[in-house]
Amino acid sequence: MATLLMVESWVQSTGLALPPLLRELGHDYILFTRDPALYPDVDGAPHPVVRDADEVIVVDTNDRAAMTGAVIGIVCRRRIDGVLTTCDYYLDAVAELAKMLGLAGASPDITRRAVRKDAVRTVLKRAGLPGPRFAVAATWDDALAGAAEIGFPLVAKPVDLNSGTSVHLVTDEAGLKDAFYEVTGVKRNTRDQPLVRRLLLEEVLTGPEVSVEAVTVAGETRILGITGKSVTPTFVEAGHVFPAPLPPAVARDVEAHVRAALTAIGFSHGLSHTELKLTPSGPRIVEINPRQAGGFVFDLVHRVTGVHPLELLVSLALGQGLGGDVSSTGSAAVAFVLSPVDGVVTGVEGHEALDANPAVARWRLDLPGAVRVPRDNNDRAGHVLAVDPSGDRAGELAADAVASLRLRLADGSVVAPAPLG
């Protein structure tokens, strides 16, 4: 049995899955959180992040000195074997604490680089990897100059947020102004950490989107697989299928491109979730995320390969190796329930049939309640996870299950969920 230090967590997806997994693996964990109320009850029971912790220590997780003092207090009375988090905003804190304790972990400097979208773009360009033209805007004049250089349309996004927050397709100067002032006007993220308030402008990449799930130890990267992604025109991830149905030659090109990108940024330890577009000119990086995939992709990988990315997260924190080769059987997919309108959902028609559908492994609807046309990945109203144990139809099966639902609204109307991309 090991004792891990968990520095905060996401609330959904990986945040729900990791705590019980740690218990299943026979490990204890100590939770550092600035506020246990960040983790609301789930289905009337305490949130697993708080419920399953051996200790909950309230400390300002945005203050490195405060956390250092709290860690010193712990190690005087019990051992810490590893440090981890599922939340992007604390990856650099985890790296620093692990280094301080002499435990396995990523380089703090490389982690800080990897979580900054503008820094990654700069490094990949210097390394000679092909990618979109881009510019970084700290002022409105910077934004105008960057747009003039790249040309409309372009993608505008903050350099240090996630979940598709404030990502815009900009087609003219008016849209650019809206994006610039939205991003530079927000001073702190949802965990009350200061933002750098810079806008990243990028050439629009065309083609299907995929992500590569990988694990790296001592600079050696093992590819777990490639995920196919359904993305709406507003950049909301509407569904995932694993493995992506790609020709072998394309898959090899994608994997080689990702390995080169991870090497370029100096990534040598940890899970990674790299998003790419399969453009007519070849694979191009959208973003590198130095952590496990969200959106239940970790669940899809586990169901198809038998390898659990969150188990790998624990192994990495404990300084353990890569393990053996990965093989896939069948396919798995998740499709998200997205509302086509703003409103209040009072009920969902058709959900009873999901239990009788042999392809549906799990479903959840966070309804009734208020919904809106999705602006980012936090606006999903539920999900359906489907499995095709011996074939490649899981994506179709999950999408069909979501399409069979109907949302009843407070105004009396009944609508189908929004198309998945």
pLDDT tens across 180-194, in order?
Answer: 999 999 999 999 999
In the predicted model, what is the mean pLDDT of residues 222-237? 95
What is the rounded CA–CA span in Å between residue 85 and residue 359?
Answer: 32
Task: Write out the two tokens for 213.
Answer: 């799930």
pLDDT at 323 over 80: no
Contact 356, 334 (CB under 8 A): no
Instruction: Give the residue carrying structure tokens 């979208």.
Output: 117
pLDDT of the residue at 327: 85
Residue 412 pLDDT grade (very low, low, confident, very high; cuts 50, 70, 90) = very high
Mean of all residue pLDDT scores within the chain: 96
Note the residue count of the chain.
Answer: 421
In the predicted model, what is the mean pLDDT of residues 390-417? 97
User: Could you tell me which of 299, 192, 179, 173 has the C-alpha nearest to residue 235?
Assistant: 179
pLDDT at 368 over 80: yes
Domains of the chain and CATH, by start: 3-112 (3.40.50.20), 133-203 (3.30.1490.20), 209-317 (3.30.470.20), 331-415 (3.90.1170.50)
pLDDT of the residue at 128: 98
User: Could you tell me which of 71, 73, 74, 20 has the C-alpha nearest to residue 50?
Assistant: 20
The DSSP letter of residue 216 is E
68-94 per-position pLDDT tens digit = 999 999 999 999 999 999 999 999 999
Question: What is the side-by-side strand order in the sheet with 28-33?
Answer: 55-58, 28-33, 3-7, 82-84
Task: Write out the two tokens for 340.
Answer: 């086509």
pLDDT of the residue at 255: 98
Contact 282, 224 (CB under 8 A): no
Beta-bridge partners for 52: none
What is the rounded CA–CA span in Å between residue 349 and residue 80?
Answer: 49
2-51 per-position pLDDT tens digit = 999 999 999 999 999 999 999 999 999 999 999 999 999 998 999 999 99
Give DSSP secondary structure letters for 153-194. SEEEEESS--TTTT-EEE-SHHHHHHHHHHHHH--B-TTSPB
Residue 383 pLDDT grade (very low, low, confident, very high; cuts 50, 70, 90) = very high
What is the rounded CA–CA span in Å between residue 51 and residue 67?
Answer: 21
Q: Looking at the whole model, is its pTM more than 0.85?
A: yes
In the predicted model, what is the mean pLDDT of residues 135-143? 98
255-304 per-position pLDDT tens digit = 999 999 999 999 999 999 999 999 999 999 999 999 999 999 999 999 99
Give DSSP secondary structure letters for 43-102. TTB--HHHHT-SEEEE--TT-HHHHHHHHHHHHTTS---EEE-S-GGGHHHHHHHHHHHT
What is the rounded CA–CA span in Å between residue 10 and residue 8?
Answer: 7
Contact 250, 279 (CB under 8 A): no
pLDDT at 355 over 80: yes
In the predicted model, what is the mean pLDDT of residues 385-393? 97
pLDDT at 325 over 80: no
Instruction: Give the residue carrying structure tokens 């550092």.
Output: 32
